Amino acid sequence: MAVRVQSEPFDAAAEARALTAGRADVGAVVTFVGLCRDEGGTLAALELEHYPGMAEEEISRVVAEAQARWPLMGATAIHRYGKIAPGEDIVLVVTASAHRAAAFAAAEFLMDYLKTRAPFWKKEHRKDGTSGDWVAAKDADDAAADRWKA
Amino acid sequence: MKAVYFAWVRERVGATDEDIAPPAEVRTVGDLIGWLVSRGENYAYAFENAKAIRAAIDRKHVKHDALIAGAKEIAFFPPMTGG
């Protein structure tokens, strides 16, 4: 498993290839990339603040939970911080398994838990020059994470 | 112990981190929030909706009833919005 928290961009395709390099038992790789939206053309950038140290540790705990729940052959999670422009990547999750069901489910679980547990906060910078608001957490994200309990 | 603040909690408190020495009767995270609020308007503003504030002790999420004894670093922050 690989977990990274970084300001620089990542290469999603290279990360996915790395999970299958040198092996022939993987039957399914799911790659999810979360991007910065322009919010109807009003957003100049998002600024992502994080809790150094805890961010890596918490994502690692979430990945370990996914590995305990599904038969994964590999998992990678990368989350960026700092100023990110619309169209740029923010977060990457890659899961590898023998079959697609586990890879899809684990990727979705990872994203649902990353959104509600990884210590990152987004602040909006608007095109009209106003330093905008902190993005508010969504109840829908909590609900999405809660459905994995049971 | 060290208190650290993130996002709008950091902005409202007006500091990224500080060393604090709460009295012995401050036993839980919730007690600590109450003690911080008593220290000034900036804390009162940051913690005005205390229920919404999340906390971590030594980089692990905790609830407000968690005991703070032995903690090196206690973090306060809004609900997370990464991903």
Model confidence at B67, pLDDT cuts 50, 70, 90, reads very high
pLDDT digits (tens, 9 = 90+) for B33-66: 999 999 999 999 999 999 999 999 999 999 999 9
Residues of B in contact with A117 (CB under 8 A): 61, 80
Would an 8 Å CB–CB cutoff place A80 in contact with chain B? Answer: no
Tell me, what CATH number does B17's domain have? 3.10.20.30
- The domain tally of chain B equals 1
pTM of the model: 0.95
d(CA A50, CA B37): 24
Model confidence at A1, pLDDT cuts 50, 70, 90, reads confident
| Residue A33: CA count within 13 A, CB half-sphere | 14
- The domain tally of chain A equals 1
- B83 belongs to a structural domain: no
Q: Are A10 and A78 within 8 A, CB to CB?
A: yes
Residues of B in contact with A62 (CB under 8 A): none
B81 and A118: CB-CB below 8 Å?
no
Domain of A71, in residue numbers? 2-19+27-146
Model confidence at A139, pLDDT cuts 50, 70, 90, reads confident
Would an 8 Å CB–CB cutoff place A91 in contact with chain B? Answer: yes
Tell me, what CATH number does A69's domain have? 3.90.1170.40
- B82 belongs to a structural domain: no
Chain B: residue whose CA lies nearest to A116: B80
- B29 belongs to a structural domain: yes
Q: Would the pLDDT of A76 be above 80?
A: yes
Model confidence at A130, pLDDT cuts 50, 70, 90, reads confident
Closest-CA distance, A24 to chain B, in angstroms, reads 31
Domain of B55, in residue numbers? 2-77
| Residue A1: CA count within 13 A, CB half-sphere | 20
The candidate with the shortest Cα–Cα distance to A107, out of A29, A37, A19, is A29
A49-69 mean pLDDT: 98
Model confidence at A132, pLDDT cuts 50, 70, 90, reads confident
Q: Would the pLDDT of A150 be above 90?
A: no
pLDDT digits (tens, 9 = 90+) for A87-109: 999 999 999 999 999 999 999 99
